[in-house]
Chain A
Amino acid sequence: MNTHFLLIGDASGRRLNGFVECFKKLGTSSYQVITWQEYFDDFLVFSRKLRENTIVRLEPPEKDMEIYRAILKLGEVDNRLSNAEIDDIDFSQFPIIAPGQWYAGFTKLITDIAQTCSVHADKKILMMQDHCEALAMMDKRQTYDRLAAKAKEYSYYLPAKLEAPLRVKEFREMYGGQVLKCFIKLRYGSGGTGILAYKNNPRLNEETLWTSLKVEIRGGKKFFYSGRKIAFITDKAKIGELIEWVLANGAHIETWIPKAAYQGTHFDTRVLVAAKTPQYFITRLSKTPITNLHLGNQRRNSSEVFTAGQLAVLSQAAADVMKVFNKSLYAGIDIVCSPGYKPYVIDVNPFGDLFHNLLGTEANVYYYEIKAALEKMREIQ
């Protein structure tokens, strides 16, 4: 029985084009593409294109700010930005606007798509991502809570979670008197977006931050956006301003796990698990506490960094994370190893399968995903 793929993604994005390239190389699969732009012009395009035996794959909207605007408009939250305010946003510097409202909008968007799929269940439709789990992974609090609930059963470790107040004043009242190293993360941020690596030592009157989050004042208003470089900030007022914004937009705070070092440089590892099996490891070396590759950090083959035994531990931890998200076909799992090589999970990314270095190569992880999806489809058929 012929299986078709239906992809929704960003027209100019590397994800969509990278995936399509894999189909072309395979030469056999039948596929159609809907861009987010087309989807927002006419929601019904999706159900029209759903044929029998279709595997649906969603790619996240990338840097198209008109799509960001459209998703924001779908979001229903308290104190929401009105449509008129959304129309007025100046997106020229890619500011991060109302991430909670964006997440609510994205939830509505992919829930609608999933519902359309269930309406057409008789056609045998498979979504590559389980939308509920993908949404949970996009919320760092939910991700943490789901993993914490099962941590005793599995081999991964988690940093301790700290209470996140809503204002920096409370934050400093709660934590200012103690030595603290923690990561203050934007609950709905992806990758390195809105992550503050925070240190406080009252004995030395020292409070510092590493972050790529920047603030700029334009037309009397503050705009927060991600810079391309990670800055080290020691000015207390500036630190307060950045923490205040992350807390106000929903924060998840975790203790700072000391990282193991490779040749004197700290690292973490992204593990792609597809069909329950760790398929690909990339170790990211960084001179700062934030290791995301788009922030200019180096990558290394994990086999260079780990012994076979250590890699097996890492592999098991990643596979165990996917047992918690057991309806998902794949995810990218970020793991920090402590100096004693205990694996601590610091992030789970439902769209964490974009490895720029593999695009166009035979090692591209998209091939694993296509194979795994086709196998799962056969089970349904």
Chain B
Amino acid sequence: MEAIKFFVDYDDEVTLEKKLADYIEEHVSYDLPAITIGHWNDAYDTSPEPVINYLIANKAKFPNLKKIFLGDIDSDECEVSWIIHTDAAPLINEFALEEIIIKGANGLRLKNAASNTLKELTIISGGLASNTLNDIAEATIPNLEHLELYLGVDDYGFDGDISTLEPFMQRSNFPKVTYWGLKNSEIADEICERVLASDILPGLEVLDISLGTLSNRGAELILENMDKLAHLKTLDLTYNYVSDELLEKIIAKGSELNIEVLCSKEDVYNEDDEDYRYPYITE
């Protein structure tokens, strides 16, 4: 979807909400279907609440909005784990969005989020807190098809465990989800074990356990249970700590079952040292 990115450049003295207001003043309305909100002033210290408030207060000026990317901020501007957020549920509740992507998760909430139009929800973070995960689990988003959560590590805000993720294993909570990604996690093996036994698995097209610390333990479980995955189009294990031998077996079995297996280890930094295994995005 075509979008304009609004952001505050280094040394800019104008706020992001002022940039939005200037755009509206010039163009009367924002007619594109998507909008990208990039770096706002002092994102390490200040939430985008004024931006969210501006969008809500002027929602009639954004008549076609179906997609919002909130926090498209480069690591050089502000590290993902440093970005401060607030309750972003009003964006979901007030606009008829089909897709929302949020980057950064400090202080992020989605309290009482409710939307019949939302099909895709992605949260990119170095650490997703339990209260945010609970908000998502309790949200009323019955038509969600794409759920993609970067869980991260405890140092940067993931304060849950496998039990915190239980609601995401239940089909009744996400009846239409076909893309399921609980990814970028330091408990990828446990997630793997649990999802293989879950009732959400049968309806999926894409199982995404990428970018985390998946090891031989989780990979062996996948190999043993490949028949349960036969309905998948794609199994995404990109960035992992699995041995090449085991990956080859999974690829071969995937090929027999017509499953695309993604498992590149290109970006893995320190593969051999078991004490220093990190998900792809942390800081």
Chain B residues near A338: list those with CB within 8 A. Answer: 9-11
Interface residues of A in 258-277 (CB under 8 A from B): 258-259, 261, 266
Measured CB to CB, the closest approach of chain B to A181, in angstroms, equals: 8
A105 within 8 A of B: no
Q: Cβ of B159 < 8 Å from any Cβ of A? A: no
Q: Please give the distance in Å from B79's CB to the nearest CB on chain A.
A: 7
| CB atoms of A339 and B82 under 8 A apart | no
Instruction: Kindly list chain B residues whose C-beta atoms are within 8 Å of the C-beta of A204.
Output: 81-82, 155-156
Q: Does A326 contact B (CB under 8 A)?
A: no
8 A Cβ contacts from B1-25 to A: 7, 9-12
A74 within 8 A of B: no
**Is A121 at the interface (CB under 8 A from chain B)?**
no
Residues of A within 8 A of B7 (CB): 339-340
Using known A-B contacts A201-B44, A342-B11, determine if residue A258 contacts B283 with beta carbons closer than 8 Å: no
Return the contact of A199 from the options B11, B12, B79 (Cβ within 8 A): B79
CA distance A324 to B90 in the complex (A): 52
List B57-95 residues whose CB lies under 8 Å from chain A: 74, 76-77, 79, 81-82
Q: What is the chain A residue whose CB lies nearest that of B76?
A: A258
Kindly state the separation between the CA atoms of A208 and B11 in the bound complex, as whole angstroms: 23
Mask: chain A, 236-260; 1 = CB below 8 Å from B; 0 = not: 0000000000000000000011110
331-355 of chain A: CB within 8 A of chain B: 338-340, 342, 344
Residues facing A in B126-159 (CB within 8 A) are 155-156
B183 within 8 A of A: no
Say whether, besides A258-B74, A339-B39, A208 and B283 are in contact (CB < 8 Å): yes
**Inter-chain contact A179/B82, CB cutoff 8 Å:** yes
CB distance from B253 to the nearest CB of A (A): 32
Instruction: Give the distance in Å from the alpha carbon of A258 to the alpha carbon of B10 in the complex.
Output: 7
Closest to A158 in B: B11
How far is A342 from B12 in the complex, measured between Cα atoms in Å? 10
Interface: A206 (CB within 8 A): yes
Residue B45 CB within 8 A of the other chain? yes
Alpha-carbon distance between A289 and B283 when the two chains are bound, in angstroms: 14
Do A179 and B45 have beta carbons less than 8 Å apart?
Answer: yes
Chain A residues within an 8 Å CB radius of B81: 204
Chain A 170-191, CB-CB to B under 8 Å as 1, else 0, gives: 0000000001000000000000
Q: How many residues of B contact A (CB 8 A)?
A: 18
Bound complex: CA of A339 vs CA of B9, how far in Å?
6
Q: Complex formed: what's the CA distance from A199 to B80 in Å? A: 13
Q: Give chain B interface residues in 181-237, CB to chain A under 8 Å.
A: none
CB pair B76 A340 closer than 8 Å: no
Chain B residues, CB < 8 A from A344: 10
Cross-chain contact B44 with A339 (CB below 8 angstroms): no
User: Which among B11, B12, B44 has the highest number of chain A CB atoms within 10 Å?
Assistant: B11
**Minimum CB distance partner of A201 in chain B:** B82
Enumerate chain A residues within 8 angstroms of B38, measured Cβ to Cβ.
339
**Cβ–Cβ < 8 Å partners of A289 in chain B:** 76
Q: Is the CB of A339 within 8 A of B74?
A: yes
Nearest to A180 among chain B residues (CB) is B44
Known contacts A204-B156, A206-B283; is A339 also within 8 Å of B77 by CB?
yes
- Chain B residues with CB under 8 A of A157: 11
- B156: A residues at CB distance < 8 A: 204
- Contact at B10–A339, with CB atoms within 8 Å? yes
Complex Cα gap A179–B155 (Å): 17
Tell me the complex Cα distance, A338–B156, Å.
27
CA distance A320 to B23 in the complex (A): 33
Contacts of B9 in A (CB 8 A): 338-340, 342
- Enumerate chain A residues within 8 angstroms of B44, measured Cβ to Cβ: 179, 201
A194, B254: Cα distance in complex, Å: 49
Q: Which A residues are CB-close (under 8 A) to B155?
A: 204
Q: Residue on A with the closest CB to B77? A: A258
Return the chain B residue nearest A341 by Cβ.
B9
* Complex Cα–Cα for A342 and B10 (A): 9
The answer for the CA separation of A289 and B75 in the assembled complex, in Å, is 10
The distance in angstroms between the C-alpha atoms of A253 and B93, with both chains bound, is 46
**A266 contact set on B, CB distance < 8 A:** 74, 76
B42 → chain A closest CB, angstroms: 8
- Chain A residues with CB below 8 A from B11, complex form: 157, 338, 342
A contact residues around B12 at 8 Å (CB): 340
Pick 17 A–B contacts, CB within 8 A, sort by A: A157-B11, A179-B44, A179-B45, A179-B82, A199-B79, A204-B81, A204-B155, A204-B156, A206-B283, A258-B10, A258-B39, A266-B74, A339-B39, A339-B77, A340-B7, A342-B9, A342-B10
